[in-house]
Chain A
């Protein structure tokens, strides 16, 4: 099974900061990677798919990059609405695996 490892687990940042979250796959997954944002008590929301494609309606300050085993989610200028937990997810032949999550907190 493919394992996904995110780092860091928690990130403290201020409004306006550039934030980067890393996700590593235990084996190559090409670009089969998505990023989700989740706020407390709410369902996850799709941000990025196919490693770097921005979901419709998602602000352009969010971007994704990478392929193979290493991926990043970048928030170019952190906004108050962005404090949340972020998950990466690989999708491969009818199995889906999430990373353990990265909580972005107010510094």
Chain B
């Protein structure tokens, strides 16, 4: 069964850091583009970041560029999102999602909640 399981969310103060992880199973991880998508409370979906299968190419939404870093460890089938300089507006549920080629997202994790508050 194809599965994605996020972890690492929690409460952090403004300006703080957090690292999210996404453990993948049931598919050949290294061949897939992976992404992070977030959803603020009561709001819509927002794409955050994407990474190629090799990890050599990374992409970011303007709202997180320079503060967030996406990476992957293909030996551990795990995707990461390092989040620095966190702001209140980064409060959201963060989902990892597997992309088909560089296209749509066919498998989603259940999400992990990040709350940025003092």
Q: Which residues of A contact B (CB under 8 A)?
A: 1, 32, 34, 36, 38, 42-46, 49-50, 55, 87, 89, 91, 93-101
Contacts and interface: CB of A to CB of B under 8 A. Distances in A.
Interface string B24-47: 000000000101010000001111
9 contacts: A34-B104, A38-B45, A44-B37, A49-B100, A93-B102, A95-B50, A96-B35, A98-B45, A100-B44
Given A43-B110, A94-B50, A95-B59, A89 B104 contact: yes
Interface string B88-117: 000000010001101111101111000000
Interface of B: 33, 35, 37, 44-47, 50, 57, 59, 62, 95, 99-100, 102-106, 108-111
A71 to B, nearest CB: 13
B47 A97 contact: yes
A34 B105 contact: yes
B103 A91 contact: yes
Contacts of A34: 103-105
A96 B103 CA distance: 8
B102 A43 contact: no
A43 B108 contact: yes
Contacts of B111: 43
Contacts of A94: 33, 50, 57, 59, 102
A57 to B, nearest CB: 11
B112 to A, nearest CB: 11
A79 B50 CA distance: 35
A43 B95 contact: yes
A95 B47 contact: yes
A101 B45 contact: yes
Nearest to B109: A43
B103 A98 contact: no
Contacts of B59: 94-95
A65 B106 CA distance: 19
Contacts of B33: 94
